[in-house]
Amino acid sequence: MFAAASVLIFILTVLAIERIAVKRSVDSINIRILVNGTRGKSTVTRYIAAAMREAGHFAFAKVTGTVPELILPDGSGRELKRRGAARVQEQFGVIRRAASGGADSLVLECMSISPELQQLESRFYNPGVYVITNIRDDHRESMGSSPDEQAEGMISAIPPGSTVVTASGKYTNKIRDAANKRGCRVIISGEGDPDGIKRELPDHLIRENVELACRAAEVAGVDLNKALGSILGYAGEDDNKLIRMENEKGSFCFVDGFSVNDVESAEIFVTYWSDRLSLKGGFSVVLNTRADRPTRSISFAEWLAGNGRISGVAVTGSHAPAARRALKKAGFPGEHISIWKKRDITRAVALVPALCGKDSVVFGFGNIRGAGFDIPEILRNEFC
């Protein structure tokens, strides 16, 4: 009993010391921005950091994902090595590293999924600017069984007294109401923006992401037009999502949407690329799955089965058999479903064009890990 009590006291003491250390680091960073949302967090985080650097700030940033990355004030990136699963303590380490490096600004992508950890992350970091990119249906296992519950999680993490930057959408009024109760200022990107943001953007840039980053940087003191210019310069003209392939049977396109892992975003993604590629007919899909995201597999299966344009689906990842069953149950023809195992991924140069069939475009969706990373890399090495 005494030993257990001693261990508990030790743990609480360590946590208290860590909290004090993190607070000191936080207080030393003048401009703190936290980017949350369902889609586009990493992109918006990178854009804001680029705008801060261009404005002369000694800005650090950190993006989360399969490969978390610390972005240094010179714009270079450093991979953050993880031991085991992602944990919120990773953010505390980044805060301390930025503070010790002399940062005057830090842009963090929120890495927490559960509402409780989102609140914890926000409370520890205490950002002056809180960005919500969008709220779409994903991570049901951790964030809630519906978009409304997921919205509550992100809204609950709004820090008191901050400026909230978000895009107009279904939950705008909820965000505004919660922010007002906490003494926050609210900026809705796209509302009342000057002509600078309304100008024509390169095809591969998503306007909503650019507008959010510009407005967040403006709140941090960066001139809006300079912010836009720096973001356009950072994004460049290259587009690494589109991979053009060619073999003896013809020309094909693979569009890397593996980071798109909710149905609503997938629909927007397909619409955008269909317009850009003048795609009028059908297409095929590689669906990369995760066993710990079963509801995502089901949602995509129902969407794929209900989309009359899809001629073939290749399923890969740790939830592939269940996803195939869900596809068949939803009415997608079994003869047009294939499962790609790990050993098949190495043959992506041959398998992806073959999946096209009579069509010429294949989209990848579902999850960026594993095959979601390997397939685009293999194709780029061969065709780019």
Domains, in order of start, for the chain: 26-235 (3.40.1190.10), 242-383 (3.90.190.20)
211 and 190 Cβ atoms separated by less than 8 Å: yes
pLDDT category, 237, cuts 50, 70, 90? very low
* pLDDT averaged over every residue in the chain: 85
Cβ contacts of residue 302 below 8 Å, gap of 6+?
263, 326, 330
pTM, two decimals, is 0.68
pLDDT at 7: 47
pLDDT category, 291, cuts 50, 70, 90? very high
pLDDT at 76: 87
The DSSP code for 240 is S
Strand order in the sheet with 163-167: 77-79, 69-71, 59-63, 105-109, 31-36, 129-132, 163-167, 185-189
pLDDT at 107: 97
